[in-house]
Structure 1
Amino acid sequence: MPSRRFSITRTHVGEMMRFALVGGSGVLVNLGVVILLNRLTPFDPESVFLPLLPTDFNIRWFHVFASLAFLVANLCNFELNRIWTFRAGARTERTRFLRFFTIGLAVLVVQLLLMTLLMHPYSPLELPTDVLDGTTGFRTRAYWAQLITVIAVTPLSFLLNRLWTFSRSRGAPDPARSTKARSRV
């Protein structure tokens, strides 16, 4: 069986640029949802949402806010990536969405772990509390942790979605668009 070599083409670069633009809009949606949740709920993002007994670990409100923001941004990003980035056709496939969502969940786990490292007081990666003291929106640690982690996990998300979710998008005819494509096969 001949081995397929992967080479980066103009198509891949274009897809990555479109994915980055969609991702940028997703970052704005994601951060907007986190800010809204932070302002509309009475909870401090760093306070405990759920203790993970019998350990000393906790799920904090910033984990909950980040997870809800992920759901909203993931739905928006799927549609934009399906239509524009990978040009996957007019038909939404449940399997394609489930793959996108599964990858999103895996990336969310990585994001939450990174976020915990940025927010935990004993972490070597902890964001500084003297500068990010929460006095203004720009000085809120949870917002910066959210932004940093979303940007950090975007390349992983692109790679996994390109290889698994939208792998058959290029060159495959969309059966909903053309009956000629089906008769040629």
Structure 2
Amino acid sequence: MERIRHFLLVRHKQNWLLFFRFGLVGGSGVLVNMLVVILCNKLGPNPHTVAVDLPLTDFNIRWYHVYSTIAFLIANLWNFQLNRWWTFKSAKHAGWLREYLPFLAVGLVGLLVNLAVVTLLLKDGSPLALPTSVFDDSTGFRNRYYWAQLIAICVVVPLSFVLNKIWTFAAVRGRPAETVAVEETKRDTPAGAA
């Protein structure tokens, strides 16, 4: 038991700190995401109506798919900037675009999972559909789409953390800031300059 505790709490202490920071940033991203979803829901068409009918299939893109995608793009940028600056402190280690493209790619995987979960929770006849007897859309707290979005976010966060830690922000793993600063100084100093 002591070895397990040491392994989890001492050896991986830094990972727990990163996960905590990532969670705080993610929490702020959830707020941004939900604010965008609510704003789109208030200003746009009914989220359950069809936005685009996919020809030759039984599938449709509904407005809640569009709203979730818009909310994702805004929250993704928000989360990236905060994670880059605070969680992983990678701004000095890698270029913005070099880190954002993998972060966006991870986010797009998360978005696909998010859309699948939201669809399963909102589609009538789905075994996972939220009950309309409880979530009757009469108030914000009883809005099926809002709850589906929150549940989907909770499913995606652990996957997103792991993928971002091992891929997106990998430039900062095992490289102290001093080492990177020395490398950057050498790279930026003209040949022959002392």
For 1:116, the equivalent position in structure 2 comes to: 119
Q: Distance in 2 between matches of 1:98 and 1:180?
A: 23
Structure 1 residues 181 and 51, CA gap change in structure 2 (3 angstroms):
closer
| Higher Cα Rg, which structure | 2
For 1:3, the equivalent position in structure 2 comes to: none
- 2:27 aligned with 1:24, yes or no? yes
| Identity level (%) | 49
Q: Distance in 2 between matches of 1:137 and 1:155?
A: 26
> Partner of 2:170: helix, strand, or coil?
coil
Report the AA paired with residue 9 of structure 1.
Answer: H
Q: Distance in 1 between matches of 2:91 and 2:152?
A: 31
Gaps of at least 5 residues in structure 1 are: 1-5
Q: Distance in 2 between matches of 1:64 and 1:180?
A: 44
TM-score (ref. length: structure 2): 0.85
Q: Distance in 1 between matches of 2:98 and 2:120?
A: 33
1:84-103 equivalent positions in 2, closer than 5 A: 84-90=86-92, 92-103=95-106
Q: Distance in 2 between matches of 1:67 and 1:17?
A: 26
Report the AA paired with residue 160 of structure 1.
Answer: L
Give the drift of 1:164: 0.4
Gaps of at least 5 residues in structure 2 are: 1-6, 187-194
For 1:45, the equivalent position in structure 2 comes to: 47
For 1:80, the equivalent position in structure 2 comes to: 82
Report the AA paired with residue 88 of structure 1.
Answer: S
- 2:164 aligned with 1:139, yes or no? no
When the two chains are superposed, the root-mean-square deviation of aligned CA atoms in Å is 2.1
Runs in 1 of length 4+ with deviation above 4 angstroms? 179-183
Q: Distance in 1 between matches of 2:184 and 2:148?
A: 48
Count of residues in Structure 1 that have an aligned counterpart in Structure 2: 177
For 2:191, the equivalent position in structure 1 comes to: none
Give the drift of 1:56: 1.2
Aligned counterpart in structure 1 of residue 163 of structure 2, from 137, 144, 160: 160
Give the drift of 1:21: 0.6
Give the drift of 1:53: 1.5
> Partner of 1:168: helix, strand, or coil?
helix
